[in-house]
Amino acid sequence: MDKTFAPHGPLTLASASAIRRQLLETAGVTLSIRPARIDEGAIRDALLAESAHPRDVADALAEFKARKVAGEGLTLGCDQVLALKTAIFEKPDSREMAKDQLTRLSGQTHHLYSAAVIYDGAEPAWRHVGLARMTMHSLTEPEIDAYLDRAWPEVASSVGAYQAESIGARLFSRIDGDWFSVLGLPLLDICSFLRLRGWRLT
């Protein structure tokens, strides 16, 4: 029999992300899916205009999403921000943009901030920002082109134009930090919070 992790009803996930859904469901968390519709670009731009730290940008976007769809029970909002020094990257909307991002990341260490905010009803109940440090090999232009020949357009959904859980793993020399945060969800911390709230496998 399948094990579930939701004695108090499903957790509402305010995201359309297939990998976040898969991670939570694989961990036994019963979900309802209700993607939040917010203007992420406008919110991000406003925060950056105030010199917000990338960690705070991720946290704020996650809270906006959770708040947008919060209702009865627990609602989870998530966001991930890629920062190279002070520059924040967005998902590439063209192969040219993907190539530019990979060229800038080549030989560098960048940071992934994966934020999660949980609302209980209409009030925030918990928040966490996971961190991963990603060090990329120095890549030549032919290597980047060959990679995109194989990976584009699938990696268009990945900020930084890579998917480290698949062929993008070959781009990296070192990854430090929480692997689930690399995938966009601080899963262990979320499950620990649910456990504190009395959720158990049943």
Residue 109 lies in a domain: yes
| Domain at 173, CATH number | 3.90.950.10
Tell me whether residue 18 is in a domain: yes
**What one-character DSSP code corresponds to residue 155?**
G
Q: Is the pLDDT confidence value at 202 over 50?
A: yes
User: Is 156 domain-assigned?
Assistant: yes
Tell me which residue range forms the domain holding 97: 11-196
Q: Is residue 167 assigned to a domain? A: yes
Long-range contacts (CB closer than 8 Å, 24 or more residues apart) made by 57-63? 57/81, 57/88, 57/113, 58/113, 58/114, 58/115, 58/129, 59/113, 59/115, 59/117, 59/127, 59/129, 61/115, 62/115, 62/116, 62/117, 62/127, 63/117, 63/124, 63/127
189 is catalytic: no
Domain count, the chain: 1
- Residue 79 within a domain: yes
Amino acid code (one letter) for 63: E
Question: What tokens were used for 17?
Answer: 């992300």
Q: What is the mean pLDDT of the chain?
A: 93
6 in a domain, yes or no?
no
CA 85 to chain centre: 18
Residue 154 is assigned to a structural domain of this protein: yes
Report helix, strand or coil for 198: coil
List, for residues 99-144, the tens digit of each pLDDT value.
999 999 999 999 999 999 999 999 999 999 999 999 999 999 999 9
pLDDT at 115: 98
What pLDDT, on the 0 to 100 scale, is given for residue 1? 42
For 80, the token pair is 């991930």
Inform me whether the pLDDT recorded for 4 exceeds 70.
Answer: no
Domain presence at residue 187: yes
Q: Which of 2, 39, 56, 79 is catalytic?
A: 79
Q: Is the dihedral of CA 202, 65, 181, 155 positive or negative?
A: positive
3-state secondary structure 44-72: HHHHHHCCCCHHHHHHHHHHHHHHHHCCC
Residue 19 reports pLDDT greater than 60: yes
**What is the Cα–Cα distance from 114 to 82, expressed in whole angstroms?**
9
Instruction: Provide the β-strand partners of residue 116.
Output: 78, 128
